[in-house]
Amino acid sequence: MEKPNNYDETQVIGDFEFLEPGGYICKIKNAKEETSSTGKAMLVVAFDIAEGEHEGIYQRRFEEISKNDIKAKWPNNGVHRIMLENSEGNTNKFFKTFITSVEQSNNFTFWKNNKGDVKNLKDKLFGGIFGEEEYEKMNGEIGTTTKLVWIRTTATIEDGKYTIPEPKKLIRNNSNDSNDIFNQAITSDDDLPF
């Protein structure tokens, strides 16, 4: 293998700060309406932690990633997607919960003459309840991350009137196909498939 261009000058990505499960006051950094892969309207909200020890965690992650990637995007754990309608074409309860929580947390009215401008959500606060979720790393190991699970008012978080959700476990494929070399245990370097 030849060394890639600019290898010696490229900075490594540092260890990321870990967000513990719990309740946090969050601040909306940006909001936009998009269309899902199934053609349905959804609200996409980029947010950050607004107070406490982890204030600005997603901004710091974004800045760290941006050092090596000029096309860096806001960290996925700092983005929340909410469908506007349910499968019957009525208001999605999660969407109404989000809008209501933002309104109550900011003494703010989103709907004016049955219209809401998502740009007006920027810099508004809401309460977020975060829980752990397992995921499969590229090397096949199981890792955990902390994601926004529930939206509530800031008062709910400040008063501690919430429950941290149980960790969401990854559904594992228990394939015992002995012909699949990637499911076989590798016991020494001599057993590597390349």
pLDDT interval class at 184 (50, 70, 90): very low
Instruction: Compute how many other C-beta atoms are within 10 angstroms of the C-beta atom of residue 46.
Output: 18
Say yes or no to pLDDT of 24 above 70.
yes
- pLDDT at position 65: 85
Write down the mean pLDDT value for the chain: 87
Beta bridge partners of 125: 27
Predicted TM-score (pTM) above 0.75: yes
| C-beta of residue 108 within 8 angstroms of C-beta of residue 153 | no
For 56-99, write each residue's pLDDT tens digit: 999 999 998 888 888 889 999 999 999 999 999 999 999 999 99
Three-state DSSP at 101 gives helix
For 134-165, write each residue's pLDDT tens digit: 999 888 899 999 999 999 999 999 999 999 99
